[in-house]
Structure 1
Amino acid sequence: MKEYQVILADKNLKNNKQILDLSLWEKANCLTDFCSPWKKDPVSKIEFRALWDLDNLYFNFRVFDTDVYIDQEDGSFDSIGNSDRVELFFRTNDSLNPYYCLEIDTAVRIMDFKAYPERNFDYDWKWPKKEIEVTTSKDDISFTVQGRISIQSLRDLNLIQNNTIEAGVYRAKFSLAQNLQYEPTWISWVNPNTEKPNFHIASSFGKFVLVE
């Protein structure tokens, strides 16, 4: 399995919203080896970083793309599912029974749900509100989605074992096609080696190793 080393952060170097400042992210390992195995066209560069302390796992996606599509029809999961977004999945083991999904767009909307094998999704399940926080921003060349997830909530869900979290890191990119419909390009840290796009499979996960 692919591994990503999550460096221990100085918990005193947080702003008043508990999100890490830019200077601290520079100390994190930068993950850039994303792919879209189902399309030959190149994809925009993605930089993913993560840090942790005794309180939180912090994550930061920087996507070098300014042509961002947001379906603003309503605030439903269907609307988020039709928008450019980044995604984090977490599992206890490769049985995927269950696993937990966070899909976040640039409007700071979160699609959070519990899932089971064969794409059995429980949309009534929610990550505890006080245990997660997300912000977004953009500049002339990119957009950023960053946030924190409490270590306690990860432990409560049995997602940290031997200082390791089994996780998937993904992006959905929507582009206007010739039929004037927006169609997705699916991008993953780990190539799941499937004929058709599929993140909801054990082979799409890697490991976050919490380095002390």
Structure 2
Amino acid sequence: MFYRYIVSISVTLILASCAKSAHTNLSIPFTGQEITMDAAPEEEEWVQAVTLNNLIAPWEDDSPDQTKFRAFVSKNYFNFIFQVEDHSLVTLPFEKELSVAGGDRVELFFASDSSLTKYYCVEMDPKGNILDYSAENYRKFNDQWDFESIEVSTKTTDKGYVVEGRISLGELVNLGIGRSFYLGVFRADFKNSKTKEVSWYSWIKPRKSSPDFHIPSAFGKASFAK
């Protein structure tokens, strides 16, 4: 069952020094439109969405990529879309959810508090396969947990791939993800299918010397205005 949760949201995006700051804030706008699940970022509903450009590679001298992440809230859903530039797509045959972790993917993590007492993760590959799970700090994963309402549509392009999706606001509220929460926006880019060499990209720069997104400093603050 989808619950109705109406929010009115101001549009403000603070991106200054995003690679260096753990206090980057993302205010996610409200629009009256619902998305059509067709992985089409050029459609009108995305015009008013907030946008994150150029995720950084924290463990590769903060070098940026061309990923574009957009999000907005409608009457019933948290809506998001990733446009990824990737000319060497790597995916594994989907045998189980963990197959997604062996290839290229985009990721969203949601937490109600900065200590990551409980947080919720979804990882999505270019084919639309999903790995979702809940977790507790530090790296205590429950891979039996799944989002009940998530929907995803994907397509490959001549430049890479697009992942479009939505999650019921009612479900997020039930998980403690309300007007103010913590959000991780990530991407994994495998160099090729024969090696395990991966470039990791993030909205902000985690305070750790080796790749790890499952720490508080990997999350930024996100908010829905009253």
Q: TM-score range by the shorter chain?
A: 0.7 to 0.9
CA distance in 1, matches of 2:168, 2:202: 24
Secondary structure of 2:198's partner?
A: strand
Counterpart AA for 2:170:
Q
Kindly state the Cα deviation for residue 83 of structure 1 after the two structures are TM-superposed. 0.8
Secondary structure of 1:203's partner?
A: helix
Deviation string, structure 1 residues 112-138 (Cα, Å, up to 9, x no partner): 10101121100111111xx11000012
**Maintained 8 Å contact 2:82/2:163:** yes
Q: Normalized against structure 1, the TM-score is what?
A: 0.88
Kindly state the Cα deviation for residue 208 of structure 1 after the two structures are TM-superposed. 2.2
Q: 1:48 aligns with which of 48, 69, 80?
A: 69
Corresponding position: 1:62 with 2:83: yes
Query: Unpaired segments of 5 or more residues in structure 1?
Result: none
CA distance in 2, matches of 1:41, 1:165: 25
Aligned residues: 203
CA distance in 1, matches of 2:73, 2:26: 13
Corresponding position: 1:183 with 2:197: yes
Kindly state the Cα deviation for residue 75 of structure 1 after the two structures are TM-superposed. 2.3
Q: 1:143 aligns with which of 143, 154, 161?
A: 161
**Maintained 8 Å contact 1:15/1:21:** no
Secondary structure of 2:55's partner?
A: coil
**Maintained 8 Å contact 1:8/1:211:** no
Counterpart AA for 2:56:
C
Q: Which runs of 4+ in 1 moved over 4 A?
A: none
Counterpart AA for 2:197:
E
Counterpart AA for 2:206:
P
Q: Normalized against structure 2, the TM-score is what?
A: 0.82
Partner of 1:204: 218
Partner of 1:122: 142
CA distance in 2, matches of 1:169, 1:189: 5
Superposition RMSD on alpha carbons, in Å?
Answer: 2.2
Identity %, equivalent residues:
32
Corresponding position: 1:84 with 2:104: yes
Corresponding position: 1:165 with 2:181: yes
Secondary structure of 2:48's partner?
A: coil
Deviation string, structure 1 residues 88-108 (Cα, Å, up to 9, x no partner): 000010221111110000111
